[in-house]
Amino acid sequence: MEELLDWLQQSEGPLAYVVIGLASLVEYVFPPFPGDTVSLFSVVLAATAGYSVIWVYVSLNVGAVVGGMGAYYAGRWIGRRRVEHRPRFLRSQQARKALDAVLARFDRHGAAYLALNRFVPALRAFFFLAAGMTGMNPWKVALWGGLSACAWNGILLGVGWVLGANFEQLESWVETYSAVAIGVVVLIVAVGAWRWWRAARQDAAEGD
């Protein structure tokens, strides 16, 4: 990662903007990839190293939309497969029930989830997977995913412009936000899992 950041610092030009876009894209294909680090660094470069603010913004947004749509079509592929042909971890009865509950909620509120996806680190790709599995209209997916990317990257550029060359401070701010956001998501998932487990126990007791 340090080599990539060093290269970006010295390589302003069309290829650099392509690399910035690819970094934003890869995060949706391979979630562990630290796409935000490259995004933050490109924001600092726009503020201090002669990079075009417009092209950085466009690169980040295009990469996010293309990556998100890749995850969306992967979700459509999974959704169209018969249960026995799905990935093994989705075949059990409990997994299917949990998945059906998630997809039913996404079917009702999918646009809102996609509008928030860029603000929820580590889970961004899964929103698009769910959109694909529910068969959500691809144009709506691209629209809401694009609006989310534009809003998030606009905030990053604005904050980066204020902080200037202080990459460490910007990274610290985003890491703090990410930790809080992940904590909230974990809490919501835990509450949902507990409610699902309690309902499953009640159904089992009634069946006996």
Domain count within the chain: 1
* Residue 94 near residue 197 (C-beta atoms within 8 A): no
Name the phi and psi angles at 101, rounded to 5: -65, -45
Q: Mapping DSSP to helix (H, G, I), strand (E, B) and coil, where does residue 12 land?
A: coil
- Residue by residue, pLDDT tens for the chain (208 residues) are 667 777 777 777 889 899 899 988 988 887 666 667 777 778 778 877 778 889 999 999 999 999 999 999 998 988 777 555 555 555 555 556 656 666 777 778 889 989 988 888 777 888 898 899 888 999 999 999 999 999 999 988 888 777 766 667 777 776 776 677 777 767 766 766 676 667 666 665 665 5
Identify the domain containing residue 147 by its residue range. Answer: 2-207
pLDDT for 179: 74
pTM of the predicted model as reported, rounded to 2 decimal places: 0.77
**Pair 61, 150: CB distance under 8 Å:** yes
Measured from the Cβ of residue 109, the count of other Cβ atoms closer than 10 Å reads 10
- Helix boundaries (H) for 1-92: 2-10, 14-29, 35-48, 53-80
| Displacement of CA 105 from its chain's centroid (Å) | 18
φ and ψ at 186, to 5 degrees? -60, -40
Q: What angle do CA 26, 149, 127 make, to 5 degrees?
A: 65
The amino acid that residue 111 corresponds to is A
Q: Tokens for 179, please give them.
A: 């930790």
Would you give the end-to-end CA distance of the chain in angstroms?
56
